[in-house]
Every structure is written in structure tokens, then in C-alpha cells.
């Protein structure tokens, strides 16, 4: 997480408001008039709708295939012959704070919430989780797994054993196929130096750089972590090298240039994974689209990929949306289409949050927007925080909200926009689905992405970010059906061929 959230999110929300005002001008000539579907007792299509005004919150609405020839000019046609990326999944971060709050709930209430969230059949079907390797700014304390100098002192710590691992085990019992992405916020302090020229010891959780003399030890640290989690029954599917490597200011942080990440991967981490038989995917960068406006760090992942020795070990790159524009994803993809892209973090918080505003912005920019620019996973930040925005660490984000906020009775909850946006993806787009092409109706303020699931079913996630309802028809060539998507609403569809 970055420390200067207010400044960054004010710029984001300014863009949101400008975009919103632009949509107001689309006019009646381009927006179809609303037309409510007739009552039906059967349902050929699984349809879920959430509106910005919260009149509908993931409301399931029965919808039948049309029995008439489709003549609607407002038709979006599926094109399964045009295939893009394979999807891995969608979810949120199970930080130490999130897990602490979950474990303060009664076992019965926690089980109900986790089943509702992660059950792939009867729940939302969340399918990807991000966790921290050691402490983050949403932990109960600062720690790594090797705080006493010497890699032989590696051991999982109490926060993981008491909070994170128990929650992960409960989730995996509900959905064993959930993928887990792990990210460190810092290396052990004894591996840090003030800079790579003087290389003076840097005894601080905040900032510093990884001493190249400890590259091999730090690679062993990752190997030991993955092995220790596996011994607990938890498989780490993917791993980023460093959370926000260009952010020196977080309460727990490490500065790491692309040059350092390149050298660490090719000389230490990649060979260590290969020799240990570890197949955890290595993801580089894990930071903002604009590279925090540091000139020589622009195109961070692209620069690493240019080194063949490093690139052979790398699956792809991760991005956050606290600065810059999602168009950067397409640039990175076009430069290296063989590498994957992941959206790994976005938070909401006190910086002028509203359910309506973020539902629309987050859906357009983070969810549908990044997927249509080649990301194969979308993960938001804290799954659950308490009403005091914590527990958190001083110097980190103390103004963040979770996807869910829980009162200090650890029973009464508020599900925020992030919970619903991720649910709209996870419920209908299953792991292994392929994003496919579409043809047909397009208009300002209408966003959508289409998919073909591994079971042969189609899925579409669609957003109407205008002030008028849109009577949209979807067609796969065999079946067609229409639904009047309310103004300022998100609709997720799933149906069999």
C-alpha cells in the first residue's frame, strides 16, 4: 500500500467525476428506452444485478431465452472464435488484519460468510487470494520469518500460525481450488542497506534496499517460505518479488529497482526455484501503472523481460491502480504478449468514498477495464477491516476500508463496493475461462467483457454507467435474450449453449 492515498485517490476520483459528466451527454438518441422483461418462473440464464443506489444488491433475476427471432439493434453477439487470455480468478487480500477480524467472529458466522464468498457453486465463487510474506501495513506487528540474522533461523511466525493459516485452511475446505498469491513487503532487516553504493546496514522496517551480498539467502528465504506453507497444506500458486517496489514510504517497505529485480531473479531466485523443484509462478513489479513517475523506472517489467536469463523464470507482471492509467497494461502486453498480466491491488477508504461512485469507477477501471487489457486475475485489497479501519500499522494506510467492514461486535457487517464488484466477476467467470470477442452494440457508458467457461457455458459481465436504463440483448448465435439493465448498474450473466 502507498502512504499518500488521499492525493492519489483524489486524482482518481476527479477522473471518475469527469467521466461521469461525459456520460451524461450521450443523449436519448444513443440510449435504448427501458423495457422490463415479463414475469417468468423458469430461468435459462443466471443473471445477477447490483445498482449504484443499492436498490438491487447482487439480486438474482430469472431470465429466459427469447422464443422470437432477434431483430434488436441493441444486440451484443458472442464470438467464441476470437480468443484472448485465460482467466485465473478473482478475489481479495487475506491480510493479517482481515484474518484477525474474521477470527473474532463466531465460528458459525464466519463459516457462513466464507461459504457465501468462496463456495464455487452456492456462493460468490471467489477464486484468488493475496497474502503477505511476513508483515504488511495491515498486520498486527512488524515481522519477517528470519528476524534473527542467518537464514538457518527461518520459521513461520505466530501471526501466520494463529490467524492467516487457520483462515486459509477454512477457505480451502470450502473451495480447494482457490489460488493464493503471496507478496513480501520487506526482506529481513539484516539483509537491508541504505543504498547500493555505500551499502551501510539499514535497521528499519521502512525503505532501504536489498544487499546484493544476500541475494542467495533471500532466494532461500522464498524457497523455505513456499515449502513451509506447503507443509501446512497451503500451495502458493504465484508470488510477487516485492509489493510496491518503488514505494519507500510504507510502514513496511523495500525499494527495489527493475535492475535489482532482474539481477535477483536471474542470479538467485530463478535458479533456487528450479533446483528446489518449485513451480510457483514468479510475478514482477506489483505496483502502479505510472511507475510512480520515476523516469528511469518506466516500463519496469518490459526492461526485465529484455534480459533472457531473467525472463525465462518470469510468468508475468502485476499492477496497482493508485497512479497512471490501465492503458499501460496493453502497452506491456503488446511488448511481450507471451507474458501474463495480473491486477493485484486496489483499496477504498476515507478519501471521498461512496458506494455508488466506486461501484461504477471500480467496475469500469479495475474489473472490466483491466480484463479487457489482458489481466488474467483481479484482486482487491483487504477482505475485511473493522470500523476503525484496522487493525493497521502506524505509517501505513490508516484510512482504508475493507471489501467488508465489520463493527466491533464482530457480527454486524457492511459489504462495500469491492465485495460486489469482485462477486460480479467470480460468480460467472470461472477459473480457466477464456475471454472471447464480441460484435455489435456499443455506446458511451456501456462496458462489457465476454467469456467461454471450461464447461461450455458463456459468461458476460456488463456495466451501464449512464443515467438511463438500457434494454440490451445478448446472443450466442443459438440463443438470445434481453434485459433492461438499470441506470448505473452492473449485470452478470451466465448461460449454457
End-to-end Cα spacing for the chain:
42
81 shares its domain with 92? no
d(CA 462, CA 424): 9
The answer to whether the CB of 261 falls within 8 A of the CB of 255 is: no
Tell me the pLDDT tens digit for each residue of 343-385.
Answer: 999 999 999 899 999 999 999 999 999 999 999 999 999 999 9
422 shares its domain with 486? no
Instruction: Identify the domain containing residue 210 by its residue range.
Output: 88-428
344 shares its domain with 256? yes
Tell me the pLDDT tens digit for each residue of 94-129.
Answer: 999 999 999 999 999 999 999 999 999 999 999 999
β-strands 75-86, 434-440 pairing: antiparallel
**332 inside domain:** yes
Per DSSP, the residues of 146-189 read --SSSGGG----HHIIIIIHHHHHHHHHH-TT-EEEEEES---G
**167 inside domain:** yes
Domain containing 222 — which CATH number? 3.20.20.80
- The cell numbers describing 355, all together, are 458506494
Query: Where is the domain boundary, 411, 428, 445?
Result: 428
Tell me the chain's radius of gyration from C-alpha atoms: 23
Query: Where is the domain boundary, 428, 452, 480?
Result: 428
DSSP lists the bridge partners of residue 494 as 46, 459
pTM of this structure:
0.92
414 shares its domain with 447? no
d(CA 161, CA 226): 15
3-state SS, residue 224: helix
**384 inside domain:** yes
Tell me the pLDDT tens digit for each residue of 306-353.
Answer: 999 999 999 999 999 999 999 999 999 999 999 999 999 999 999 989
409 shares its domain with 302? yes
Domain containing 51 — which CATH number? 2.60.40.1180
414 shares its domain with 330? yes
Amino acid 35: pLDDT: 36
Q: How many domains does the chain have?
A: 2
Tell me the pLDDT tens digit for each residue of 470-497.
Answer: 999 999 999 999 999 999 999 999 999 9
**26 inside domain:** no
- The cell numbers describing 168, all together, are 486459509
**465 inside domain:** yes
Nearest to 130 by CA among 66, 88, 183, 198: 183
Amino acid at each position: 500500500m502507498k502512504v499518500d492515498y488521499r492525493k492519489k485517490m483524489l486524482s482518481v476520483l476527479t477522473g471518475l467525476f469527469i467521466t461521469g459528466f461525459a456520460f451524461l451527454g450521450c443523449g436519448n438518441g444513443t440510449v435504448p428506452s427501458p423495457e422490463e422483461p415479463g414475469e417468468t418462473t423458469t430461468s435459462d440464464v443466471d443473471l445477477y444485478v447490483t445498482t449504484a443506489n443499492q436498490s438491487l444488491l447482487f439480486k438474482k433475476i430469472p431470465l429466459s431465452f427469447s422464443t422470437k427471432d432477434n431483430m434488436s439493434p441493441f444486440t451484443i453477439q458472442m464470438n467464441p472464435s476470437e480468443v484472448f487470455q485465460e482467466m485465473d480468478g478473482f478475489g481479495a487480500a487475506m491480510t493479517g488484519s482481515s484474518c484477525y477480524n474474521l477470527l473474532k467472529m463466531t465460528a458459525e458466522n464466519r463459516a457462513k460468510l466464507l461459504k457465501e464468498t468462496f463456495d464455487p457453486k452456492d456462493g460468490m465463487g471467489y477464486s484468488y487470494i493475496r497474502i503477505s510474506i511476513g508483515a504488511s501495513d495491515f498486520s498486527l506487528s512488524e515481522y519477517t520469518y528470519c528476524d534473527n540474522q542467518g537464514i538457518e533461523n527461518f520459521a513461520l511466525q505466530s501471526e501466520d500460525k494463529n490467524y492467516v493459516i487457520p483462515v486459509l485452511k477454512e477457505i480451502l475446505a470450502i473451495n480447494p481450488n482457490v489460488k493464493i498469491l503471496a507478496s513480501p513487503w520487506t526482506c529481513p532487516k539484516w539483509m537491508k542497506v541504505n543504498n547500493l553504493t555505500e551499502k551501510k546496514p539499514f535497521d528499519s522496517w521502512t525503505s532501504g534496499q536489498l544487499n546484493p551480498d544476500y541475494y542467495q539467502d533471500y532466494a532461500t528465504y522464498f524457497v523455505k517460505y513456499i515449502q513451509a506453507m506447503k507443509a501446512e497444506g497451503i500451495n502458493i500458486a504465484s508470488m510477487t518479488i516485492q509489493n510496491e517496489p518503488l514505494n519507500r514510504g510504507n510502514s513496511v517497505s523495500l525499494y527495489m529497482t527493475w535492475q535489482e529485480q532482474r539481477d535477483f531473479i536471474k542470479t538467485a531466485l530463478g535458479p533456487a526455484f528450479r533446483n528446489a523443484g518449485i513451480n510457483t509462478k514468479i510475478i514482477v513489479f506489483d505496483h502502479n501503472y505510472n511507475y510512480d513517475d520515476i523516469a528511469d523506472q518506466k516500463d519496469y517489467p518490459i526492461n526485465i523481460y529484455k534480459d533472457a536469463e531473467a525472463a525465462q523464470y518470469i510468468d508475468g507482471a502485476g499492477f496497482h491502480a493508485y497512479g497512471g492509467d490501465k492503458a499501460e497494461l496493453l502497452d506491456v502486453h503488446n511488448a511481450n504478449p507471451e507474458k501474463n498480466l495480473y491486477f493485484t491491488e486496489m483499496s477504498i477508504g476515507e478519501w471521498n468514498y461512496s458506494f455508488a461512485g466506486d461501484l461504477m469507477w471500480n467496475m469500469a477501471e479495475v474489473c472490466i477495464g483491466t480484463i479487457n487489457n489482458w489481466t488474467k486475475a483481479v484482486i482487491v485489497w483487504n477482505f475485511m477491516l473493522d470500523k476503525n479501519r484496522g487493525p493497521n500499522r502506524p505509517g501505513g494506510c490508516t484510512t482504508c476500508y475493507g471489501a467488508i467492514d465489520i463493527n466491533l461486535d464482530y457480527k454486524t457487517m457492511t459489504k462495500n463496493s469491492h465485495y460486489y464488484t469482485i462477486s460480479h466477476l467470480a460468480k460467472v467467470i470461472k477459473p480457466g475461462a477464456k475471454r472471447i470477442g464480441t460484435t455489435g452494440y456499443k455506446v458511451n457508458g456501456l462496458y462489457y467483457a465476454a467469456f467461454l467457461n471450461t464447461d461450455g457455458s458463456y459468461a458476460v459481465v456488463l456495466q451501464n454507467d449512464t443515467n438511463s436504463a438500457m434494454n440490451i440483448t445478448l446472443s450466442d448465435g443459438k440463443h438470445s435474450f434481453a434485459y433492461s439493465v438499470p441506470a448505473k448498474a452492473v449485470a452478470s450473466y451466465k448461460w449454457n449453449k
